[in-house]
Structure 1
Amino acid sequence: MLELIYQEPEINTRDQITIDIIKDGKEFLEQFELNQRILLDSISIIYRFLKLNGKIPHNLYKFFIGAYYIVSRHPWTFPAHENKKKFCRKFGIQTSSLDYSVEKIVGTLHISKILDDKNYPYYLDKKNDVGFKLAKSVVKSEVDKAMMEFLICNQPINSQILSEELINKIIFDMKIFPEELFRQFYEIILELVEDSLHEYYEYVQLQHKCFI
């Protein structure tokens, strides 16, 4: 007779330390009575950061604050024109400490920093942001279509014109990102379009001969 017995999964020492740190960080942030959804997203960022960073940084609590700052400044929070010093006073840290932790997290996780017209920062976690994933799929679909038209009908592709059409669709029709950041997201979409085009071997070979 086969008997199935549940066994607790083995967790190595480093993973256990990471889990303990995450729990402590969650308790630390909860004392400030923060938005619960943003708090959990912040914890998720720190978990990924610790997994990739390889080392546990000193004064880790400022990294939890930095993660919360990043998540709380998603593009859809525009206009988020709170003074950084005011944010830091809430948590009792220096702006230099916030800048350091944010820079380390953003660099490690490849989170995009976007500046609005008043130079206030917003952060886009391209790997996990649902809106960005949707925008990326729209770009890929339209680039695939444009490439087929080029290969079959010899219709040239202009990456800038295609990007303008896509950003209008993404911002105004689908409303994936705020229209106030239209210019900033145009640059992001243009980069996606050009990256997608270069995935085609035919494009790389023929762009100098046929493409505009």
Structure 2
Amino acid sequence: MNTLIIDNKKGYGRKIKRLLEKAIADSSAAAIPTVLEALAELRHPHYDLIIIGHPFPEISTDEFLTILTNNNINIPVLIIDHDTTSTVALSDSLETCVFRIPADYVPRILPMIALETYKRCRLYNENRQLKAELNKARGNHKIVEIALNSNHLINNPLMTILGNAQLLLRDCEKSDTKTLTRLEKIEKAAKRIQEITLDLANKLDTSVEPEEMLKSSR
């Protein structure tokens, strides 16, 4: 887990960094003192979690979160709250992936809360992606149904055209080469359309449910 710690209080960010790296295996953390440096770092995000240690002097925390949202930076944020009356807040909806932990709790449970925040947000994002893919699969399934129905609607008049062209070819005088040529072209074109619609019908399968389509694509 890679963590970006933003804190302007001298030594506090490094303290959090040491705490996380000691408690969480295979983790690394970077401590940055200013919002501007943090935003520059997040242009190429490779972090799994952002921790805000103290309120920013430049902008409010809410403004910072808005900047993240506007720039499509979907990284969970853990805010260390220095209000002594606050409690640990892990959102159930996970829609924003922003959580708070009282500063007094930091030495005891920060690594656990940080890891839990990261895991829960990752799970939320994976579920959201799966839902998006399922909706897409359902849309594709509907398109298949429409295509098959259109295929059927094309074939009905096509059979009439082909059948009549073949009857006319049979009854046409051999000497009327001009009419014969035109009828043969109609027959050839109708058969070609028939081949295309048959090939399309063979490729489309509405018996597969969207959920199965999603599984097969993963």
Q: Same fold (TM over 0.5)?
A: no
TM-score (norm 1): 0.26
Structure in which a larger fraction of residues adopt strand: 2
Structure in which a larger fraction of residues adopt helix: 1
Considering only CA atoms, is the larger Rg found in Structure 1 or Structure 2? 2
TM-score (norm 2): 0.26
